[in-house]
Amino acid sequence: MTFPMATSTASTAAAASIRLLPVPATPSSRTLRFPPILRRAPRALLSVSALSKLSEASPVPIPQEPTQTLPGEDALPPRPGVYGVFDPAGDLQFLGISRNVRASIEGHRRKVPADLCASVKVAIPDEETPDKSVLTNAWKSWMEEYIAATGKAPPGNVAGNHTWIGPPQRPADLRLTPGRHVQLTVPLEQLIDRLVKENKVVAFIKGSRSAPQCGFSQRVVGILEAHGVDFASVDILDEEHNHGLRETLKTYSNWPTFPQVFVGGELVGGCDIISSMAEKGELAALFQK
Amino acid sequence: MMGSRGTSAVLSRAARMRQKLQSSLEASALDIEDVSYQHAGHAAVKDNANETHFNIKVISPKFEGQSLVKRHRMVYDLLTDELNSGLHAISIVAKTPTESGS
């Protein structure tokens, strides 16, 4: 489907009326037009009402080559807002919400095939830092408008589609060797030594970081992630890429069990120690070293 | 309390661990809890699910001035034989008498 090319821009007062379609969950007061007096803080309402409808917003063309710069910041501001990305045929591919619309679109251009990003429509609330509800409401009204017109969500917003928003990004587990078939030219011990010294925080765990195979490893990964620690993980059960690591690491670290967490090349401990440091609030200081 | 020397061959792992830790660490308190049942389905313990996982709480004056890593190593070192003969994992709480408030 295509969207009419609206002549009004997102900022014109003419496009002021925003329609909130009835939300099935709360049908009572959410009629077609949303009276300014109800429920929402006036501050928030102002900016919502300044946003245009999806069909009325002006498309901003995006250069096909990611190396070409985006249109100017007046068209694509580095500000909070909602945006829709259209393919060359004018079909909506994805509806996004962002604290920095320009940066998000820049991110999509790098990640998404070029034939899906031909133009964008944006709606930017007037306020510098709009309330989150302002943005989510604007996003919802665009989504509802689109679904009402087409009967479906944009492909990029369908659950399980990871073209636009990937699955929760976790760094891959590190591997000590390219594979079992490759003859090592340096001892495994030396590879471990290099790895723990080149990475600030390393967790040797059973299983991958996204699917630890042991409760203690899982707890350590959970604690590190909860503290926002940027850490490398190594799966000691990966016999293909880390063959022999299990036994060699025990000797290297003089520590008989797993998981093992290294910070700055030094063993900090296993699950017990990491848990106890987390409880005492000592982890933040440790990872800042 | 401790089994006599003559019965050591049939002592449980828990009892052997107790003996080793108690005598070397001069522990003022020592709790050893067998939690192997919690790990019965664990891939690593399929064949021999008995006495593989323990929780150990030990209070020892020998931990004074030692980092957590060193304290755990002291415990692990005393249990090397057990770790090499089927003991899979131990959860350790290692405190000094001062820290434990006793």
Q: Does A280 touch chain B (CB under 8 A)?
A: no
Closest CA in chain B for residue A258: B89
Please state whether the peptide bond connecting residue A80 to the residue before it is cis, i.e. omega within 30 degrees of 0.
no
Closest CA in chain A for residue B80: A256
Reported ipTM = 0.78
User: Is residue B5 scored above 60 in pLDDT?
Assistant: no
* Angle of the A271-279 helix axis to the A215-226 helix axis, nearest 10: 40
Q: pLDDT tens digit string along B56-66?
A: 999 999 999 99
Q: A267 and B69: CB-CB below 8 Å? A: yes
The domain ranges of chain B are: 10-100
Rounded to a whole number of angstroms, the distance from the CA of B30 to the nearest CA of chain A is 17
Residues in chain A closer than 8 A to B68 (CB atoms)? 269, 273, 276-277
Residues in chain B closer than 8 A to A239 (CB atoms)? none
The 10 Å Cβ neighbour count of residue B87 is: 21
Q: pLDDT tens digit string along B14-61?
A: 999 999 999 999 999 999 999 888 776 665 555 556 788 999 999 999
User: Is residue B3 scored above 60 in pLDDT?
Assistant: no
pLDDT of residue B37: 81
Q: Does A271 touch chain B (CB under 8 A)?
A: yes
pLDDT of residue A118: 92
- For B44-92, the DSSP string reads GGSS--SS-EEEEEEE-GGGTT--HHHHHHHHHHHTHHHHTTT--EEEE
pLDDT of residue B102: 57
CB of A125 within 8 A of CB of A103? no
Superfamily of segment(s) B10-100? BolA-like (3.30.300.90)
What pTM, to 2 d.p., does this model score?
0.56
The tokens for A231 are: 């850490």
pLDDT along chain A (289 residues), means of 10: 40 40 42 44 46 89 83 91 94 93 88 87 89 91 94 89 74 87 88 94 94 91 88 94 94 94 95 93 82
Q: Is A138 exposed, middle or buried (0-12, 13-18, 19+ CB in 10 A)?
A: buried
The count of CB pairs under 8 A between chains A and B is 32
The tokens for B35 are: 């939690």
CB of A201 within 8 A of CB of A229? yes
CB of A98 within 8 A of CB of A81? yes
Closest CA in chain B for residue A254: B73
